[in-house]
Chains A and B, each alone.
Chain A
Amino acid sequence: MIDWSSWLFDGLLAVGLLLLAWLTVISADLFRAILFFIAFGLFMALCWARLAAPDVALAEAAIGAGISGALLLDAYRVLSAPTLAAAPALSRLPGLLALLLGGVTGALSWVFWRLPPPVLALDELVQARLADSGVSNPVTAVLLNFRGYDTLLEAAVLLLPLVGVWIINRQTPAPLESIPVGVTDSPLVDTLVHLVTPLAVLSGAYLLWAGAHQPGGAFQAGSVLAGAGALLLLSDRLRPTATPQALLILGLILGLVIFCGLALGVMADGSPLLRYPPAHAGLLILVIETALTISIALTLLLLVSGAAGLRWGRRW
C-alpha cells in the first residue's frame, strides 16, 4: 500500500516536471512561458523535498522560483511589446532538432540505466567527521567546513554578476524606476510593512541560527532578508539610486572579506587554509554565515531591483 502511493506521487511529480518544462519552452505567449517556469520552479522545490533535500528545497523555493520569477517578469515588462516573441521564431528545422535532442535524452537515459552502484560512500565519511565540524547539520558542515573552499569562491562569484549589471547600467543609464508615491501611500501597505518586516528579519535570523542543526543556513536566510528588502523597496521605504553607497559596498563585500580573513587567519598557527580548530569551529562557522547572509541579502536585493544603491525613502 505504501509502495503504490509513493510510486503514484513520484510518477505525478515526474510527469508534472516534464509537462511544465515542455510548456515553458513551447508556449507562444512569453508571459505564459514565464508563469509556467515559476510553477516549474515550485514543482522542483517539491521534488527536492521528496528526495530528502530540505535545504535545497528551501533555497529553490525562495531563490530559484521566487527571485528568478521576479527577474523574468521584470525583463518581460521592459521588453513590453515583444517584437520577436509573438510567434515562436524557429531558427532551424524543428523536426530535425527535436530528433537530435531526443537522441541526447536517449543517450543520457541509457547512461543512467547502466549506472554502476556507488563506490564512494561520502555520506559515511561526512557522518564520521561531523562531530569535528562544529555543526550537526551535514549540509552546513559540507558547505562551510569540509568544502568551504567552494563556498569561499562562490561568495566571490556572487558579486561578479552584480558588478556586471552595474557596468551595463552605467554605459546606458537605465531609468531608475521606483513605484509612484500615489500607489504606495495606503494604510494596507503600511500595515504590511510594519507587520512583515520584523517577522522577516526574525525568520531570517532564525534560519541562519538553525542552519547549524536543521535545514537552513546562510543562503536561505539571505533570500528571506532580500525579500524583506524588496518589500521595503516596493513600499517606498527604500529608494534606488544610481551609484552605490560606501556602507552598501561594505555590506556587499563583508561576507567575502570575513570568510577570507578567517580562512587565512587559521593558518597563523601552522594549519592549512580553512582548517578551523575543532574547538572553535562552530563559532567561526556562525560568524562566517552571518557575514555571508548580509552579503547575499544585499546582492540578491540589488540584482532583483536593478538598483546600484539604496537610500531611505519616506517616513516609516
Chain B
Amino acid sequence: MNPTLLFLLTAAGLFGIGLYGLLAYRHPLRQVLAANVMANGVFLVFIALARRGLANPDPVPHAMVLTGIVIAVSTTAFALAIIKQLHRTSGSPDPASAPPPSAAVDS
C-alpha cells in the first residue's frame, strides 16, 4: 500500500458514492451534485496515476484533468440552467412533471 493506491481507492469510493447519489435520488439538483462527485473521483484517478513512482509527475494527465474541470463546470452550468427553467415553467424541477413539448415549434 503506497500513497498512490490510497488515493486510487479513495477515488473508487468517490465514484461509488456519486453513482449511488445519482441513481437513488430523484431531485435534479442532487443528481447534479452526485455527478460532480463522480467526476471528481475520475479526476483523482488521473492525478493519482500521474504520480506513480515517477521522479516528476506525468504532466499529460494534469492537462487532461485541467480540461476536464473546466468542461465539468460548464456542463454543470448548463444543467442548472435547464433545472431552473423547468422550475420556472412547471413549478417543480422534476423533469417528470414538465409539460410535454408543444407540437408546433416556434422560432
Contacts and interface: CB of A to CB of B under 8 A. Distances in A.
A300 to B, nearest CB: 8
B24, B50, B72, B88, most chain A CB atoms within 10 A: B24
Contact of B69 (A63, A97, A102): A63
Q: Which 9 A-B pairs have the closest CB atoms?
A: A105-B16, A25-B21, A108-B12, A161-B78, A138-B59, A112-B8, A161-B74, A303-B77, A142-B63
B28 to A, nearest CB: 9
Given A112-B9, A164-B81, 15 more contacts: A37-B36, A53-B47, A64-B72, A71-B80, A78-B88, A83-B92, A85-B29, A88-B30, A97-B23, A104-B15, A118-B53, A123-B57, A139-B66, A158-B74, A304-B77
Interface residues of A, number: 97
Interface string B10-40: 1111111111110111110110111011001
A47 B7 contact: yes
A30 B7 contact: no
Contacts of A169: 81, 85
A141 B61 CA distance: 13
A82 interface: yes
28 contacts: A10-B3, A17-B44, A18-B13, A25-B21, A52-B57, A53-B50, A75-B83, A76-B29, A79-B29, A82-B29, A85-B29, A89-B27, A101-B16, A102-B16, A113-B5, A122-B59, A126-B60, A127-B56, A139-B66, A142-B62, A142-B63, A154-B71, A158-B70, A161-B75, A161-B78, A165-B78, A168-B81, A174-B88
Interface in B85-107: 85, 87-89, 91-94
Nearest to B39: A64
A46 interface: no
How many chain B residues sit at the interface, stated as a range, is 35 or more
Interface string A186-221: 000000000000000000000000000000010100
B53 to A, nearest CB: 7
- Where chain B touches its partner, the secondary structure class is helix
A138 B80 CA distance: 35
B63 A139 contact: yes
A123 B72 contact: no
Contact of A123 (B5, B14, B17, B59): B59
Given A56-B62, A72-B80, A161-B78, A44 B16 contact: no
B65 A53 contact: yes
A52 B15 CA distance: 22
A38 to B, nearest CB: 10
B18, B19, B40, B48, most chain A CB atoms within 10 A: B40
- Where chain A touches its partner, the secondary structure class is helix
A51 B53 contact: no
B56 A143 contact: no
Contacts of A160: 74, 78
A248 interface: no
Contacts of A150: 63-64, 67
B24 A71 contact: no
A17 to B, nearest CB: 6
B77 to A, nearest CB: 4
A67 interface: yes
Interface in A55-106: 55-56, 59-60, 63-64, 67-68, 71-72, 74-76, 78-79, 82-85, 88-92, 94, 97-98, 101-102, 104-105
A25 B64 CA distance: 26
Contacts of B70: 59, 63, 154, 158, 219, 296
